[in-house]
Structure 1
Amino acid sequence: ARCMPLLADPDRMRDIGCAALDVLRAEPRADPDRIAAVGYGTGGAIALELGRHGVDLRAIGTVNALTTGRPGEAARIRCPVWAGVGSEDPIMPPAQRDAFTAEMQAAGVDWRLVVYGGALHAFHHPPVDHAVVPGVGHHPLHAQRAWRDVVGLLAECLPVTD
């Protein structure tokens, strides 16, 4: 109930993402030239909106958030985008995956999409002791794989230097 209105408001997501970046950039140990945005679910949608907003990022990673933006705004993304989603995710179904990949392709973005076979929405999240939204389910193997893929994206785009 809290996420859906936010996901429908790209400007609000951008405001939240930019506020988080302001906090990060104020950290003396942060290197403002080596920032990536990675998020799961709504956080991934915010990461994508930062890119569509033209924020200077080295990479964008999103798990379970294949949101599409306003026409033409993906052309502002100037870094690689990695996205991961479960094949059985009813919240991010094949039509949503197709719309996301079409948007990235049309904008000339360096993008990758990994579809994890048999995984539902929020497959990365460990089981909880209360009812969850239908279509949500933990998949421990794919959760580990997605994390390794995110780490690989960061290693590629933010290599460790001495």
Structure 2
Amino acid sequence: MKIEIANYQNPQDRAGIVKLMAAYALDPMGGGEALPDAVLANLCDALAGEMGAISLLAFDGDSAVALLTALRGFSTFKCQPLLNIHDVMVLPEYRGQGLSAQMITQLEAYARRHAYCKMTLEVLANNIGAQRVYERCGFAPYQLDPEQGAASFWQKALI
């Protein structure tokens, strides 16, 4: 297996990202619903236009089997950029081989080289397997003061 930074203009990388995001969306941990064709058709171009977006692809030969996409954010408390891991997806038949941890480790090296202050991510409460991977990679629930508790991720849909 090889893991590399995706090139959003490369046809093989584009096809891998689209294939894996389509599979991720259909997975219960990805919502269980197909992504619209327009999203899949425009995703790589949109990511290419996002400053600081980075995707890592794991390949088994020429076939993309795992994906991690992170987006640049900003920490006001550190006054430095951060990387938010937005998607981590491994095809079911490749799970349990350490690909998620390898991609996270590679992303961390990238983040350190580019002076990001931290990496963040969201994980569903029932995704225990992913939580274990993230804990082994050094992630923990976010809190400023243990007496105030851990932060939770909220959203408000606008479209």
Q: What TM-score results when the alignment is normalised by the length of structure 1?
A: 0.32
Larger fraction in strand? 2
